[in-house]
Amino acid sequence: MAKVIFSFDDKSAKKLKNKKNILGGKGANLGEMGRLGLPVPPGFTITTEVCDLFYKNKKKLPRKVLQNIESELKNIEKKTQKKFGDLKNPLLVSVRSGARISMPGMMDTILNLGLNDRTVESLKKRTSNGRFAKDSYRRFIQMYSNVVLGVEGHLFEELIDNYKLTKGVLLDTDLDESDWDGLIINFKELVKKEKKINFPQDVKEQLLGAINAVFLSWDSQRAKTYRKLNQIPDHWGTAVNVQAMVFGNMGDDCSTGVAFTRNPSTGENSFFGEFLINAQGEDVVAGTRTPQYITKKAKKDSGSKDPSMEEAMPKVYKELAKVFLKLERHYKDMQDIEFTVENNKLWMLQTRSGKRTAKAAIKIAVDMVREKLISKKEAIKRIDPNTLDTLLHPTLDEKVEKEVIASGLPASPGAASGKVVFTADEAEKLNGMMQDTILVRLETSPEDIHGMHAAKGILTARGGMTSHAAVVARGMGRPCVSGSSEITIDYELKQFKAGDVIIKEGDIITIDGGSGKVMKGLVPTVQPEISGYFSTIMKWADKFRKLKVRTNAETEVDSKTAREFGAEGIGLCRTEHMFFDEERILSVRQMILSKSKEDRNSALDKLQPHQKEDFKKIFKVMSGLPVTVRLLDPPLHEFLPKADKDIDEVARSLNLSAKEIKDRIAELHEENPMLGHRGCRLGISFPEIYEMQCRAIFEAIVELKKQKVKAAFVEIMIPLVSTESELKILRALVNKIAKEIEKENKLKLEYMVGTMIELPRAALQAKSISKHADFFSFGTNDLTQTTFGISRDDSGKFLNDYIDNKIFDVDPFVSIDQNGVGELVEIASSRGRKTNKNIKLGICGEHGGDPKSIEFCSRTGLNYVSCSPFRVPVARLAAAQAELSK
Q: Active-site positions?
A: 468, 844
Q: Give me the least distance between CB of 521 and Mg ion, in Å please.
A: 36
The residue within the footprint of ligand ADP, chosen from 135, 338, 367, 448 (CB under 6 A), is 338
**Contacts of 412 by beta carbon, 8 Å cutoff, 6+ apart:** 265, 357, 458, 470, 473, 474, 477, 478, 479, 480, 513
Asked if residues 156 and 187 have their Cβ atoms less than 8 Å apart, the reply is yes
Which CB sits closer to ligand ADP, 246 or 379? Answer: 246
Residue 350 makes contact with Mg ion by CB under 5 A = yes
The residue within the footprint of ligand ADP, chosen from 7, 119, 256, 777 (CB under 6 A), is 256
Residue 292 makes contact with ligand ADP by CB under 6 A = no
Q: Is 458 helix (H, G, I), strand (E, B) or coil?
A: strand
Residue 211 makes contact with ligand ADP by CB under 6 A = no
From the list 242-250, 355-363, 378-386, 809-817, the region that binds ligand ADP by CB under 6 A is 242-250
Q: Report the partner that residue 340 touches, choosing among Mg ion, ligand ADP, none (CB closer than 5 to 8 A by kind).
A: ligand ADP
Buried b (16+ CB within 10 A) or exposed e, 341-364: bbeeebbbbbbbbbbbbbbbbbbb
Beta bridge partners of 276: 256
Nearest-angstrom CA–CA distance, 652 and 589: 12
Query: DSSP readout, 754-772?
Result: EEEE-SHHHHHTHHHHGGG
CA distances from 369 to 330, 539, 544 (A): 15, 14, 16
User: For 89, how many CA atoms within 13 A lie in the half-sphere containing its CB?
Assistant: 7
Q: How many residues bind Mg ion (CB under 5 A)?
A: 2
From the list 221-229, 333-341, 394-402, 423-431, the region that binds Mg ion by CB under 5 A is 333-341
The residue within the footprint of ligand ADP, chosen from 48, 295, 350, 611 (CB under 6 A), is 350
Residue 29 makes contact with Mg ion by CB under 5 A = no
Which CB sits closer to Mg ion, 273 or 418? Answer: 273
Tally of CB atoms within 10 A around 47: 25
Which CB sits closer to ligand ADP, 31 or 812? Answer: 31
> Would you give the binding string for ligand ADP spanning residues 271-290, x where CB under 6 A is met?
----------xx--------
Helix (H) or strand (E) holding 437: strand 437-441
Which CB sits closer to ligand ADP, 218 or 775? Answer: 218
Q: What is the DSSP letter of 715?
A: E
Which CB sits closer to ligand ADP, 245 or 250? Answer: 245
Q: Report the partner that residue 365 touches, choosing among Mg ion, ligand ADP, none (CB closer than 5 to 8 A by kind).
A: none
From the list 55-63, 243-251, 309-317, 502-510, the region that binds ligand ADP by CB under 6 A is 243-251
Nearest to 451 by CA among 494, 421, 481, 490: 421
Nearest-angstrom CA–CA distance, 199 and 186: 12
Which CB sits closer to ligand ADP, 78 or 736? Answer: 78
The residue within the footprint of ligand ADP, chosen from 28, 99, 245, 346 (CB under 6 A), is 245
Q: Give me the least distance between CB of 41 and ligand ADP, in Å please.
A: 5
Asked if residues 365 and 267 have their Cβ atoms less than 8 Å apart, the reply is no
The residue within the footprint of ligand ADP, chosen from 217, 263, 340, 722 (CB under 6 A), is 340
Q: Give me the least distance between CB of 244 and ligand ADP, in Å please.
A: 6
The residue within the footprint of ligand ADP, chosen from 190, 349, 472, 763 (CB under 6 A), is 349
Q: Report the partner that residue 96 touches, choosing among ligand ADP, Mg ion, none (CB closer than 5 to 8 A by kind).
A: ligand ADP
Residue nearest to Mg ion (CB): 350
Residue 109 makes contact with ligand ADP by CB under 6 A = yes
The residue within the footprint of ligand ADP, chosen from 13, 28, 111, 828 (CB under 6 A), is 111
Nearest-angstrom CA–CA distance, 37 and 426: 49
Q: Report the partner that residue 94 touches, choosing among Mg ion, ligand ADP, none (CB closer than 5 to 8 A by kind).
A: ligand ADP
Q: Give me the least distance between CB of 241 and Mg ion, in Å please.
A: 10
Q: What is the DSSP letter of 434?
A: T
Asked if residues 442 and 460 have their Cβ atoms less than 8 Å apart, the reply is yes
Asked if residues 172 and 56 have their Cβ atoms less than 8 Å apart, the reply is no
Which CB sits closer to ligand ADP, 26 or 563? Answer: 26
The residue within the footprint of ligand ADP, chosen from 23, 246, 358, 572 (CB under 6 A), is 246
Tally of CB atoms within 10 A around 391: 20
Q: Report the partner that residue 246 touches, choosing among ligand ADP, Mg ion, none (CB closer than 5 to 8 A by kind).
A: ligand ADP
CA distances from 311 to 249, 277, 315, 337 (A): 19, 13, 9, 20
From the list 16-24, 128-136, 144-152, 240-248, the region that binds ligand ADP by CB under 6 A is 240-248
Nearest-angstrom CA–CA distance, 355 and 107: 20
Q: Give me the least distance between CB of 26 and ligand ADP, in Å please.
A: 6
Which CB sits closer to ligand ADP, 84 or 690? Answer: 84
Nearest-angstrom CA–CA distance, 134 and 121: 9
Q: Give me the least distance between CB of 884 and Mg ion, in Å please.
A: 32
Q: Is 396 helix (H, G, I), strand (E, B) or coil?
A: strand
Beta bridge partners of 242: 44, 95
Query: Could you give the dihedral angle defined by the CA atoms of residues 656, 660, 666 and 669, in that order, rounded to the nearest 10 degrees?
Result: -20
Q: Give me the least distance between CB of 861 and ligand ADP, in Å please.
A: 44
**Contacts of 534 by beta carbon, 8 Å cutoff, 6+ apart:** 362, 391, 873
Q: Report the partner that residue 256 touches, choosing among Mg ion, ligand ADP, none (CB closer than 5 to 8 A by kind).
A: ligand ADP
From the list 241-249, 287-295, 313-321, 593-601, the region that binds ligand ADP by CB under 6 A is 241-249
Residue 444 makes contact with Mg ion by CB under 5 A = no
Q: Is 830 helix (H, G, I), strand (E, B) or coil?
A: helix
Nearest-angstrom CA–CA distance, 180 and 176: 6
Helix (H) or strand (E) holding 416: strand 415-421
The residue within the footprint of ligand ADP, chosen from 41, 571, 635, 873 (CB under 6 A), is 41
Residue 96 makes contact with ligand ADP by CB under 6 A = yes
Contacts with ligand ADP, residue ranges (CB under 6 A): 41, 94, 96, 109, 111, 243-246, 256, 281-282, 338, 340, 349-350
Contacts with Mg ion, residue ranges (CB under 5 A): 338, 350
